Structure 1
Amino acid sequence: MSIKNMMKTSHKLMVVLLTTSFATSSFAADTGHLDNTFAMTTNLGEIKGAIKDKVVAFYGIPYAHNPFTPSLRFKAPQPYENWQGVLDATHVGAPVPQPGRGQTVELVGTTEDLTINIWAPVDALNSDQILPVMVWLPGGAFIREDAGEQVYEGTSFAKSNTIVVTVNYRVGVDGFMHLDGAPDNRGILDQIEALKWVQENIADFGGNPKRVTLFGQSAGAESVAILLGTDKARGLFQQAIMQSPPMQYLTAEQADRVTKALAKDLNTHPTKEGMSKVPFKQLVSSIIKTSNAMQQNRDEWGMMSWGGTVFLPVVDGVIIKKSPMKDLAENTDSSIPVIVGSTDQEARLYLVPGNTIDRVKNEEKNLFLNDLSLSGDPLTTYNPTKNKESIGDVYADIKSDYSFRMPALHIAENLVKNGNKVWHYNFSWSSPAYGGKLGAAHFVDVAFSFNTLNSAQARSFVGTHPPQELADYMHSSWSQFAHYGSAPWDIYNLTDRATMRFDTHSEQVNDPEKQVRLLWSDFSF
């Protein structure tokens, strides 16, 4: 459907362009320099955003009250009402409390309201245009997230006449720890609340609440899958994109074990009251410590030791009834079109930077394959000599397939069986970062889909001369999907299995890596 033929809601805005004079001639989100701001009145109150390249960015708009206060701790999100005065949304805010990514675990984030960021073209705010909306759920293994990261900057999408929303939500103990008397999956509940906010308010920013694409990467992509499979989010979005969805989860019994292990490390009770007494700095340190201990103790934790994160969505009978994959397969609205895929070498992000990939032993690789109990002959398929790879390289291939690549493929298969239109992709461009060893790793694709290759954050993953033409194509494919609900390659089916291979020379291929696919055909995610 043409954007021009879409009808905007009857609510019209009074907008005022406030120009200020600064020494610099452009706005940069990471420095806070502004050359102008944009103020307008919404149903929630007056708001002021920052203009860059004819796009207005509104940072830190509250959608739920501070859930870290004593009265709201570990509860479902409470929707935010009107704010007083003019909301200054011109500067990027902090995410929720979480562990930093440095070698020394530090507390980052802040205990404030839950917020979203919005990017909208000036022309849409100054006219009766109504544009498609893309709502982004950032990843971070369910222990981290940051809607304000540089690679998630929505300017390029907005230039293509798309409204972009990025969402901060609770993670770690506050978002996903199982606690008696508290709702499980509080981070998912936050995402649902943010989507409700979009439905009620995005028209004020030129967006069409009836054409919302929910998209995310890693834990954000699994969140999209969970929201597809739960009736609690029914009608809150109409399209979906999942980039590298892991699809791991905990049963209630497993979640209770994790809670007790963390509480033991913190020397507190495994209860809401016990956790509320622990300072956030200690909480985030214990998250990393417990996660590392779990990965190093297979005898105690079994398959959970291969997962890589201590907190995961929980089968609670409310948001997740059977499992994220089974709920998606059985409950997804078949009218929702979907893009889903992964990078070719996902796990190298975790194995290359610290040179772990060079220390993997053949015994560890074989132990992992034994635990997976795959069909066929995995030792032949994942053979270092046959593939002319090191043991570490092959181990990375197995971890990539287990954690992200095969879950994405199974999502595609299940949704095709459900009657959804599905477009499948593999991201194959090999990053030259880390001496050329990073490859097509996890997260490398995100800067291409957002067209944010020039950000400082992206350069550490893609190097200094990444192929702009690849970003142009992948970004335009996502934009086309947001506008029209289709991608520029063939729909996936269970016969041809058409797959877009994103690379310097992108092309459609049919049933890539069939031998690997068959190995995982009976595996239950």
Structure 2
Amino acid sequence: MTRRGRFRGRAVDAEVDAFLGIRYAEPPFGARRFAAPVPVDDAGDRREFGPIAPQSARLPGAPVWRPGDEDVLTLNVWTPSTSDGPWPVLLYLHGGAYTFGSSAQPDYDGTALARAGLVVVTCNYRLGFEGFGHVDGHPDNRGLLDQRAALRWVREHIAVFGGDPDDVTVGGQSAGAGSALFLAASEPVRRVIAHSVPNRVCTPGFARRVAEWIDSTTPESAVASADALVAAQRTGPLSYDPVLFGPVADALPALAVDALLCHTDVEYALFDAVGTFRPPADLRVFGRDWGIPDHVIAAYEHFEDAHVRLAGDFVFAEPTARLAEAHGRAFLARFTRPPAWHTADVPFSFGNLAGNEFLIGGPAGDDERALSRRMLRAWVDFCTTGDPGWTGVHHWGEEVESRREAWRGVDLPAPVDHPVEPVT
């Protein structure tokens, strides 16, 4: 056991201490359901992850949500035990299409980053309908409000763990990357790390149409009815990529602080491999349904995996690259080491290759461990100095030809406003 102020945690090894399942807000259920988070002053024995937010996902190595689990607004801290700091802080937000995932996933263990000189914080936040569904008389984007509450907890308490409250980087991947942008736009932070930023925000009208088919009586009925609504989408973009929840906003916020951005080379290869990506055979029908111009679609027709590459560039790669261009001084990287699909970069950046054979495409060898050390070092250096160690576009893996030329001058879509097919 190890102590930091009123908190008792566990020594991971001689260099790192971990404090898990610290409550940063009251359980968001009962009278507090669908309300803004209510901060709480926690203390005590914190050596186990807290319950995860309501969802139906069952992810490898991660806990599952069980009806009755309510104390879901918790965070975790990994801190160097070798000195009192102050150390730079990384608050990392997990991904999962704003619908699933948790800070307890093995991918997000902060031990290696803490050993390298960061205080690492991960947090749970409300997901799916609980976090992003429209409920009359209640605030939208409750999951984003949870993240703001977690950051405020960090600023108030992280000095106890050796962290510098004035040197906080917020980071995330996929939905976590989008969340990090919104968090940095609403709260003072020093820097942002955003991998595979999805160009996905929702109109109020879309959120209301989804809400019509959600049974919000209980958390479990909300999860079950959302799953049924996903399954009911048979045509159009929601049948290819059935994401029903996300921030209700006009657009992704612009970056106003130093940023480290990254995307993978073939993002949608992951969704193709696990069977959740179901495009129509005709590439032009597929592209037009998403509002992609014909000349862009034509630039992909020669690829054997044209649907996969077009979707990945449209949803993740091009939006991420454009954020870097608009920012002017952001650092941009492309992860090209095969399989180079969505999320493959996360275990490398966290230094958590063991147990992630599926995500990284097989067992880790010397080359993979060396790449992981370089990527982890870039994160630590960026959080510490604002410089990950390169200029221009950096490649994690072999340099590959950019597919960006066809996208020049093409507007990316407005917020998601698709029709929603009813459950029958």
Say whether the fold is shared (TM-score over 0.5). Answer: yes
Q: What is the DSSP-based 3-state SS (H/G/I as helix, E as strand, rest coil) of the residue aligned with 1:71?
A: helix
Q: In the superposition, relative to structure 1, how do residues 247 and 225 fare at CA in structure 2: closer, same or farther (>3 Å)? A: farther
2:358 corresponding residue in structure 1: 460
1:521 corresponding residue in structure 2: 410
1:344 and 2:265 aligned = yes
Write out per-residue CA displacement over residues 360-396 of structure 1, whole angstroms, 9 at most, x where no aligned residue. 5532x2212123444561243111xx33x1xxx1100
Distance 1:202 1:122 in 2: 14
1:436 corresponding residue in structure 2: none
Conserved? CA contact 1:218–1:245, under 8 Å: yes
Write out per-residue CA displacement over residues 111-167 of structure 1, whole angstroms, 9 at most, x where no aligned residue. 11510000001113xx3x200000000001111121011111111111111100001
Conserved? CA contact 1:132–1:211, under 8 Å: yes
1:238 corresponding residue in structure 2: 190
How far is 1:308 from its partner?
2.6
* Percent identity between the two aligned chains: 31
Q: What is the DSSP-based 3-state SS (H/G/I as helix, E as strand, rest coil) of the residue aligned with 2:138?
A: coil
Q: Return 5+ residue gaps in structure 1 as ranges.
A: 1-36, 264-274, 316-321, 431-438, 491-497
Structure 2 counterpart of 1:228, from 175, 181, 184: 184
Find the structure with the greater CA-based Rg.
Answer: 1
Q: What is the DSSP-based 3-state SS (H/G/I as helix, E as strand, rest coil) of the residue aligned with 2:193?
A: strand
1:494 corresponding residue in structure 2: none
Structure 1 counterpart of 2:386, from 477, 481, 485: 485
Mapping of residues 107-122 of structure 1, within 5 Å: 108-109=65-66, 110-122=69-81
1:411 and 2:323 aligned = yes
Q: In the superposition, relative to structure 1, how do residues 373 and 283 fare at CA in structure 2: closer, same or farther (>3 Å)? A: closer
Distance 2:54 2:115 in 1: 32
Structure 1 counterpart of 2:235, from 279, 285, 297: 297
Distance 1:40 1:196 in 2: 19
The letter for the 1-side match of 2:385 is Y
Distance 1:396 1:113 in 2: 35
How far is 1:102 from its partner?
7.2
Distance 1:313 1:374 in 2: 22
1:214 and 2:187 aligned = no
Q: What is the DSSP-based 3-state SS (H/G/I as helix, E as strand, rest coil) of the residue aligned with 2:78?
A: strand
Conserved? CA contact 1:137–1:166, under 8 Å: yes
1:61 and 2:61 aligned = no
1:283 and 2:222 aligned = yes
Q: What is the DSSP-based 3-state SS (H/G/I as helix, E as strand, rest coil) of the residue aligned with 1:182?
A: coil
Distance 2:20 2:109 in 1: 11
1:424 corresponding residue in structure 2: 332
Distance 1:286 1:167 in 2: 26
Conserved? CA contact 1:116–1:166, under 8 Å: yes
TM-score relative to the length of structure 2: 0.90
Q: In the superposition, relative to structure 1, how do residues 172 and 285 fare at CA in structure 2: closer, same or farther (>3 Å)? A: same
Mapping of residues 295-374 of structure 1, within 5 Å: 296-298=234-236, 303-315=237-249, 322-324=250-252, 328-329=253-254, 332-333=255-256, 336-354=257-275, 361-363=280-282, 365-374=283-292
Conserved? CA contact 1:107–1:284, under 8 Å: no
1:476 and 2:370 aligned = no
Conserved? CA contact 1:251–1:314, under 8 Å: yes
1:443 corresponding residue in structure 2: 343
Distance 2:201 2:4 in 1: 42
1:178 and 2:166 aligned = no
Distance 1:60 1:311 in 2: 26
Conserved? CA contact 2:4–2:161, under 8 Å: no
Conserved? CA contact 2:335–2:345, under 8 Å: yes
The letter for the 1-side match of 2:395 is R
1:267 corresponding residue in structure 2: none
Count of residues in Structure 1 that have an aligned counterpart in Structure 2: 407
Distance 1:136 1:210 in 2: 16
1:269 corresponding residue in structure 2: none
How far is 1:101 from its partner?
3.4
Compute the RMSD of aligned alpha carbons. Answer: 2.2
Q: In the superposition, relative to structure 1, how do residues 172 and 379 fare at CA in structure 2: closer, same or farther (>3 Å)? A: closer
Distance 1:52 1:94 in 2: 25
Conserved? CA contact 1:107–1:281, under 8 Å: no
After the TM superposition, which segments of 4 or more aligned residues of structure 1 sit over 6 Å from their partners? none
Q: What is the DSSP-based 3-state SS (H/G/I as helix, E as strand, rest coil) of the residue aligned with 2:169?
A: strand
Distance 2:45 2:371 in 1: 36
How far is 1:193 from its partner?
0.4
2:3 corresponding residue in structure 1: 39
Write out per-residue CA displacement over residues 47-88 of structure 1, whole angstroms, 9 at most, x where no aligned residue. 3333324200100001001112x11111000000244xxx22
Conserved? CA contact 1:50–1:90, under 8 Å: no
Q: What is the DSSP-based 3-state SS (H/G/I as helix, E as strand, rest coil) of the residue aligned with 2:12?
A: strand
1:512 and 2:410 aligned = no
Distance 1:524 1:228 in 2: 23
The letter for the 1-side match of 2:343 is F
1:156 and 2:156 aligned = no
How far is 1:91 from its partner?
2.1
Could you say which structure has the greater relative contact order, defined with CA pairs below 8 angstroms and 6 or more residues apart? 2
Mapping of residues 120-199 of structure 1, within 5 Å: 120-124=79-83, 127=84, 129-199=85-155
The letter for the 2-side match of 1:194 is A
Distance 1:100 1:251 in 2: 25
Conserved? CA contact 1:138–1:220, under 8 Å: yes
Distance 2:262 2:375 in 1: 12
1:257 and 2:209 aligned = yes
The letter for the 1-side match of 2:412 is F
Q: In the superposition, relative to structure 1, how do residues 46 and 378 fare at CA in structure 2: closer, same or farther (>3 Å)? A: closer
Distance 1:107 1:449 in 2: 25
The letter for the 2-side match of 1:247 is N
Conserved? CA contact 2:20–2:76, under 8 Å: yes
Q: Return 5+ residue gaps in structure 2 as ranges.
A: 415-424
Conserved? CA contact 1:49–1:88, under 8 Å: no
The letter for the 2-side match of 1:78 is V
Conserved? CA contact 1:176–1:311, under 8 Å: yes
Q: What is the DSSP-based 3-state SS (H/G/I as helix, E as strand, rest coil) of the residue aligned with 1:189?
A: helix
